[in-house]
Amino acid sequence: MPSATSLVPTPSRSFSAEVLPIAIFLVFVAIPIVAPFAGGGYLLSFSARVMIFAVAAVALDLLVGYCGLISFGHAAFIGLGAYAVGILSAHGLSDAVISLPTAVAVAALYALLTGLVCMRTNGVYFIMITLAFGQMAFFTASSLALYGGDDGLTIAARNTVAGFALLKNEWTFYYVVLGCLLSCYLFCRALVASRFGRVVRGAKENPVRIAAMGFDVYRFQLAIYVIAGALAGVSGFLLANATEFVSPAYMSWQRSGELIVMVLLGGLGSLNGAIVGTAVYLLAEEWLSGFTEHWKVIFGPALVLVVLFARGGLIGLSTELMHGRRHG
């Protein structure tokens, strides 16, 4: 069967592809070591939050960056994963051996059921239908009076792991989150570089040609949608354990919009960029909110400048600057 390789070139072995991810994960590894001297537990919890949302952003980049499908309902999968943890805990099932697979399965199932419809649309119609499904999940969670409704649900304690309270230790929990981010990153990177990923990227550029080559574009894109939903479910599992609380706000359209901004900020079609964009966005939120509660009024114009003058996001801008220095 013909290959889609000719349609999409193999990514070059560049700085952003090889050195940057190593640097990113080395920084995350080092943070617990320097935390006692700079911020203590706050730095540790903030960095864990960055990594939790980076998992969801990396998953979203599979859709937006590599498929060209802008989803405004991605936060629904985070919320479903978080609610799976919260509801199981409310019924006395608080072991990660049960709650993590359940969170992933629930998010993946919802992605499959909604994706069967969403993937038959494109462009603005895809955006609107993912928004509709996301809001449907949001209002469903808000109506669950048994599990807190609008007020959310407090989780008694973090999940145990095979009966051991490993996640109660902040350092252990931090490295578990880091391990999940690294695993998701490596999985997505292998997926994008595989034959499957080349077909998906080819379908973004020319779906008609890919279909003519014998590939079912609908099935490939549906598979990516389900994978992205499942990975966001992992993010929801981690978020519920980090905060020991779940809320319908986790799956609001505003949160989906924030995830899109994170991906845009770092650079579309760059898994490294999704992580960098998440870190920059949350750092900007933390810093600017110290000046005013209307911090987005300041952040908005800055994002517009990035979109206008750095089409490849922060990763693309840094690559261009390095290239310019080499040839300057």
Determine the residue type at 273: G
What is the pLDDT, as a whole number, of residue 320? Answer: 67
Closest CA to 193 of 55, 317, 6, 10: 10
Structural domain tally of the chain? 1
Report yes or no on 294 lying in a domain. no
Q: How far apart are CA 14 and CA 273, in angstroms?
A: 14
Asked whether residue 274 is assigned to any structural domain, the reply reads no
3-state SS of the chain: helix, strand, coil percent to 5? 75, 0, 20
Residues 134, 74 contacting (CB under 8 angstroms): yes
99 domain residue, yes or no: yes
Whether the Cβ atoms of residue 213 and residue 4 lie closer than 8 Å to each other: yes
For residue 141, what are the domain limits? 15-252
pLDDT number for residue 104? 97
Instruction: Return the DSSP state at 156.
Output: S
In a domain, 35, yes or no: yes
Question: How many residues does the structure list for the chain?
Answer: 328
Distance of CA 73 to the CA centre of its chain: 12
Q: At residue 137, what are phi and psi to the nearest 5 degrees? A: -65, -40
> Does 4 reside within a domain?
no
What pLDDT, on a 0 to 100 scale, did the predictor assign at position 322? 64
Cα distances (Å, whole numbers) of residue 129 to 2, 6, 70, 96, 236: 33, 33, 11, 32, 22
- Residue 291's pLDDT is what? 80
Does a structural domain hold residue 243?
Answer: yes
**One-character DSSP codes across 45-90:** HHHHHHHHHHHHHHHHHHHHHHH----S-THHHHHHHHHHHHHHHH
CB 119 within 8 A of CB 213: no
Q: In the numeric block, which tokens belong to residue 107?
A: 């998010």
Q: Is residue 145 part of a domain?
A: yes
Per-residue pLDDT, 6: 42
Each as own residue / partner, the long-range contacts of residues 25-29 (CB below 8 Å, 24 or more positions apart, any chain) are: 25/178, 25/182, 28/178, 28/181, 29/178
- pLDDT, residue 290, reads 79
Task: Read off the tokens for 164.
Answer: 């051991």
Q: How far apart are CA 81 and CA 238, in angstroms?
A: 9
CA pair distance 73, 118, nearest whole angstrom: 11
- Phi (first) and psi of residue 95, to 5 degrees: -100, 135
pLDDT of residue 163: 85
Residue 309 lies in a domain: no
Q: Report yes or no: 95 and 89 within 8 Å, Cβ to Cβ.
A: no
In a structure prediction context, what are the per-residue pLDDT tens digits for the chain, which is 328 residues long? 444 444 444 443 455 567 888 889 999 999 988 888 776 788 899 999 999 999 999 999 999 989 989 999 999 999 999 999 999 999 989 999 999 999 999 999 999 999 999 999 888 999 999 999 999 999 999 999 999 889 989 998 899 998 888 889 889 999 999 999 999 999 999 999 999 999 999 988 888 899 888 899 999 999 999 999 999 999 999 999 999 999 999 999 999 999 999 999 888 888 998 999 999 999 988 888 878 787 888 888 888 887 777 677 777 777 666 665 555 5
